[in-house]
A and B are shown apart, each in its own frame.
Chain A
């Protein structure tokens, strides 16, 4: 029982963090057709900005300021980089973001050093919130949950209930029509790109101290974010949401299961002493998202909720 409760709770929090990252990526993709390889780098920038700003102003100011700064950086990248490349086609854009990811990592190494920075959970949130089955639950995790849910609601409200959301949705599918109606589609693109980056930045701010803030953090989480987007269906926010939670919960559950291949497939005659039978499920946890990716591409290439096939 306690295993299920804790795994669910931890899985949901990790899943929501993944969603915060992948929502921006999937929005940008569906709107501009750009698979932004540097997306996780904006997540990293968010964490480092929050660390630097936070050491001067405290965590709470950084929580708002860092995502805004990351958004501005994102807008600049779109305005001065991607927009110029748009005419060159998707390959050029892809290569551009690919290179950008490396440049950002190198810049981070130069500015903040090659090893992890001591970006810590703020003291006001560094206490056990409640006790469950004899184990304490840190308040910061619940705070992450609250921030994620607030972000989720704000995003939903913006896209589905406001005029801006209407225009963005229209620009997703019929950019020419929207332009003819007198809207500046280019600017909408820039804003969406900036907003996507800011969301990644926010994920960095609250994820950087929950996990570790180091130059390799972008490349650690980047592939998983892509898995989320592909499994959820390219360009589908709902799909990304479901996929994020699925992967988050799956990974935490896999660790808490105490079984080996021989326990699962013993009925096939797999013995516990054999090489294959001795593989334990927890040791497979890090590969599970990729297994899901492969299976999804094999059997349902458009993803859970995606409209298009790739």
Chain B
């Protein structure tokens, strides 16, 4: 009996020791690198969008690592699949925090960003000294840097109102367009697109008639033909849509099959499968407002970076702002130390940064990046094409960073 007890104790002791050892090795290996959590859809309807942006982040990390890392530490992007679902995202957030990650990256879906920013705010309040930072590279519901802003959230893309301001400014010069049709995804982001469009058109072009203002379920529609048919019946001079990912691809596919000839003013018509679905019929018709497209003037160094990326991953270089976010983040981390989240956030506030396409800055008031925007058209005869279609985007209009800044209602509480 006594022997049995000794054996039992020894086993328990050994198990504990092994646990301790494993735990220790994990800790020590985490100390010489920085793990950043990337929480976005990697499967399902929006999986291709997540796949593309993840590749950009991994490439950005590899460039930083090649240059010696951040404060000598290597950066690693750890992907978490949230299936574009807010509830799953909170579970993935907890997983990432449990694994010791302090930087959370997300962008695809304002509903997800809204859940994450709320979750992170709560977590940081309850766990002082272990704060996490939210890097939002694409969720553009204006509320995130207005009513729902907080100290831990930084947005590296222009929000819906800024993008719509650019589109409606362009509309001011287009006297031929007398009516528009708005098609949006039925969730917070789509509602924001629709509301901003209606409001700004009333301000800037009161003569334009809004002949349709439709919402469709996000990610559920596989055949947009009935919607396209409806737009054609409404005889709109232009279509405005905020659709992204497969909702954009399938919409434009249905439009080109039906031979629709109206211009499309889009936020995300320039990538992630949409150009492949457009083909020749969309030349001159599809426009986008973005911070980047491949035919912008740039240094040879930047062009080589784009080429290297496309060669390495076999997919289009689309998200310039991902490199901006990583560049600014690493600058802030160098300054404040890689573990000091409050310091990093404070360093980001008001930071100015030189991108290959002009100067940008992170507005301290609401943590909204102010950057130049470009309206461009899907055209023939361009230097660089998109998705091997032979067509690419040409700039119509450059909106300087300052001009695209809008006032904010954000009143955030800062840690003392």
Contact = CB atoms under 8 A, between A and B. Distances in A.
- Are A and B genuine complex partners? yes
A78 interface: no
Interface in B246-262: 246, 250, 257-260
B44 A214 contact: yes
Contacts of B246: 116, 212
Interface of A: 2-3, 6-7, 10, 14, 109, 114-116, 118, 128, 131, 134-138, 210-212, 214-216, 220, 252, 255-256, 258, 280, 282-283, 286
Nearest to A252: B226
Interface of A is mostly: mixed
Contacts of B340: none
Nearest to B276: A118
A256 B43 contact: no
Contacts of A138: 257-258
A216 B217 contact: no
A220 B221 CA distance: 10
A116 B258 contact: no
B232 interface: yes
Interface stretch (B6-14, B45-53, B70-78, B352-360): B45-53
B294 to A, nearest CB: 21
B226 A109 contact: no
A131 B259 contact: yes
B226 A212 contact: no
Contacts of A256: 226, 229-230, 233
A115 B83 CA distance: 11
Given A109-B43, A116-B246, A256-B233, 18 more contacts: A3-B230, A3-B233, A10-B225, A114-B43, A115-B43, A116-B47, A116-B48, A128-B257, A135-B229, A135-B259, A136-B257, A138-B258, A214-B47, A216-B44, A220-B220, A280-B215, A282-B216, A283-B217
Contacts of A282: 214-216
A118 B233 CA distance: 31
A29 to B, nearest CB: 26
Nearest to B44: A216
A220 B219 CA distance: 11
A270 B276 CA distance: 45
B123 interface: no
Nearest to A255: B226
A131 B260 CA distance: 12
Nearest to B235: A134
B226 A128 contact: no
A134 B226 CA distance: 15
Interface residues of B, number: 30
Contact of A220 (B212, B222, B227, B257): B222
Given A255-B230, A283-B215, A210 B223 contact: yes
A255 B227 contact: yes
Could you say which of A2, A10, A114, A252 has the most chain B C-beta atoms within 10 Å of its C-beta? A114
B187 to A, nearest CB: 12
Contacts of A212: 45, 222, 246, 250
Interface string B27-53: 000000000000000111101100100
A197 B258 CA distance: 32
A51 to B, nearest CB: 15
A7 B228 CA distance: 11
B310 interface: no
A283 B216 CA distance: 6
Contacts of A131: 259
Given A115-B47, A135-B259, A214-B45, A3 B229 contact: yes
29 contacts: A3-B229, A3-B230, A3-B233, A6-B226, A7-B229, A14-B223, A114-B47, A115-B43, A115-B47, A115-B48, A135-B258, A137-B258, A211-B222, A211-B223, A212-B45, A212-B250, A214-B44, A214-B47, A216-B44, A220-B222, A255-B226, A255-B227, A256-B229, A256-B230, A256-B233, A280-B215, A282-B215, A283-B186, A286-B217
A147 to B, nearest CB: 17
A114 B136 CA distance: 24
Contact of A10 (B45, B215, B226): B226
Contacts of B230: 3, 255-256, 258
A115 B220 CA distance: 15
A301 to B, nearest CB: 28
Nearest to A257: B230
Given A256-B229, A286-B217, A216 B45 contact: yes
A134 B43 contact: no
B37 to A, nearest CB: 19
